Structure 1
Amino acid sequence: MKILVTGFTPFGGEQINPSWEAARRLPNRIGGAELIKHEIPTEFDASGAALHKLLTELRPDAVLSVGQYGGANCIRVERVAINLRDARIADNAGKQPTDEPVVAGGPDAYFATIPTREIVDALREQNIPAQLSYSAGTFVCNNLLYCALHESAQSYPALRCGFVHVPYLPEQAKDGNAPSMGLEMMVKALHIAVEAIAEEEKQ
């Protein structure tokens, strides 16, 4: 089986994005699954277009997208994507939508189709701070998860899609005033998440 793992480019004036730094350090195989890793632009339109191209070319069995959630104190495994773009800041293309749908006429929301609760339980068993999250926000992270789930619903019904948010890296934590997590722990967390997805696919 093939699992597509994506991370984002830096945004909001940052020089690094921990989502891609962690994703790209994963091995090429986990739990019998082949991992294909790609960096996605932090742009509303380009992120969906990039994902569409990857799904068309690669035909993966599952997609795990990873994003930065500045201020989070743990790994957040997202359960819901909503059909809304409402940006507090502009994306990397300068776009700052307000009250726009991700997909015009699409459903209000989709639930993630990876084993979210099992992933959180597995992370906690390894003493990695983690929680289920019921809001992926309204920026490009939510946008990408919604695009993945919508495309799955329309064209690839067997495709499993999910999203994990990671905190800041210590060097991003603004003089220690924001929560952060070491890169090694982030990589371990993503490894565990991919293992859970691969195990479910076998069943």
Structure 2
Amino acid sequence: MALTTRSGSGTLRSRSLVLCKTAHVVKPVVLLTGFGPFPGVERNASADLVQTLARMGAGRYDDVRFVAEVLPVDWQNAPLRIGALIGQYRPALSLHFGVSARATGFVIEAHAYNAAIKMPDEGGHTAETSYLISGDRPRRSATLPVRRIVRDLRDAGFPADLSSDPGRYLCNAVLYHSLRHATLTTPRLRSGFIHIPATLEIGVGGETSLISWPDAIAGGLRLIESCLIPLRRRQSVLS
């Protein structure tokens, strides 16, 4: 198993974890992103979760390469980092994770919006405009099988809901830019966003969370499996 750690752009907190079980073999890439800390959240569970899922995923799936990145909660650098990651790795799947005070389990986001809220990022900066991309479409839909993911998670015993409102903070911005970059550069990329409870504590659970930390890991792996099914079908057709 190969492990590479490097710093992301814009902040020392941004780092990436690249895991591939067999070198020199072209494999579909699964990009997993989480966020670093931001005002009100000193330790972001999504950062720990994506790195854990990448390690465990690499041990479980020898036909897939996992890349995990912790994005800065930064209005300027997070979207730039997403574009750079998609350009570098050309992933087949892009699964973005973040925390939400409204989430009690897994919340699968169906859409992202070309809108931004005037809420400070980790550096105290706010979005410069009320939109993300001037003149771009007002809404983009996730390209993951969102309904299947919710159904599969529920069937496995994990609380899961479908949402059409990811907020207008960096979670929404990252999903919007991910979907836009996919359209422009990597049309076959399937991208989506998953919220987990903001109260989820690393190693345990949370005061208002319906899932424990082990549940978050197990559910995350189940979610990945749900997304890999159509990917493998597509590969078998092309092969």
TM-score, structure 1 as length reference: 0.91
**Deviant stretches of 4+, over 4 Å:** none
Per-residue CA deviation, residues 115-158 of structure 1 (Å, 9 max, x unaligned), is: 11111111101110000001111000000000000111112111
- The amino acid of 1:12's aligned partner reads P
In the alignment, is the contact (CA less than 8 A) between 1:168 and 1:180 conserved in 2? Answer: no
Q: Corresponding residue for 1:16?
A: 43
Which runs of structure 2 are paired with 1:7-86 in the superposition (5 Å)?
Answer: 7-26=34-53, 27-29=56-58, 30-31=60-61, 32-86=63-117
Q: Which has the higher contact order (CA 8 A, sep 6+)?
A: 1
Q: Corresponding residue for 1:151?
A: 181
Please say which structure displays the higher CA radius of gyration. 2
After TM superposition, the structure 1 stretch with the greater mean CA deviation from structure 2, 77-86 or 8-17, is 8-17
Aligned length, in residue pairs: 199
In the alignment, is the contact (CA less than 8 A) between 1:28 and 1:36 conserved in 2? Answer: no
TM-aligned CA deviation for residue 99 of structure 1: 5.7
TM-aligned CA deviation for residue 14 of structure 1: 2.2
- The amino acid of 2:138's aligned partner reads D
Q: Does 1:107 align with 2:107?
A: no
After TM superposition, the structure 1 stretch with the greater mean CA deviation from structure 2, 141-150 or 187-196, is 187-196
Q: Tell me, in whole angstroms, the C-alpha distance in 2 between the residues paired with 1:67 and 1:170.
A: 11
1:109–1:22: structure 2 CA closer, same or farther, 3 Å change rule?
same
Instruction: In structure 2, list runs of 5 or more residues that go unmatched.
Output: 1-27, 234-239
TM-aligned CA deviation for residue 163 of structure 1: 0.5
Per-residue CA deviation, residues 74-103 of structure 1 (Å, 9 max, x unaligned), is: 21000000000013x311122223762111
Which runs of structure 2 are paired with 1:89-168 in the superposition (5 Å)?
Answer: 89-97=119-127, 100-168=130-198
Q: Tell me, in whole angstroms, the C-alpha distance in 1 between the residues paired with 2:40 and 2:167.
A: 19
Aligned-residue identity in percent: 25
In the alignment, is the contact (CA less than 8 A) between 1:86 and 1:138 conserved in 2? Answer: yes
Q: Corresponding residue for 2:33?
A: 6
Instruction: In structure 1, list runs of 5 or more residues that go unmatched.
Output: none
Q: Tell me, in whole angstroms, the C-alpha distance in 1 between the residues paired with 2:99 and 2:210.
A: 11
Q: Tell me, in whole angstroms, the C-alpha distance in 2 between the residues paired with 1:68 and 1:185.
A: 15
RMSD: 1.9
- The amino acid of 1:157's aligned partner reads P
Secondary structure of the 1:24 match is: helix
Q: Tell me, in whole angstroms, the C-alpha distance in 2 between the residues paired with 1:125 and 1:2.
A: 27
Q: Corresponding residue for 2:225?
A: 195
In the alignment, is the contact (CA less than 8 A) between 2:178 and 2:191 conserved in 1? Answer: yes
Q: Tell me, in whole angstroms, the C-alpha distance in 2 between the residues paired with 1:61 and 1:73.
A: 29
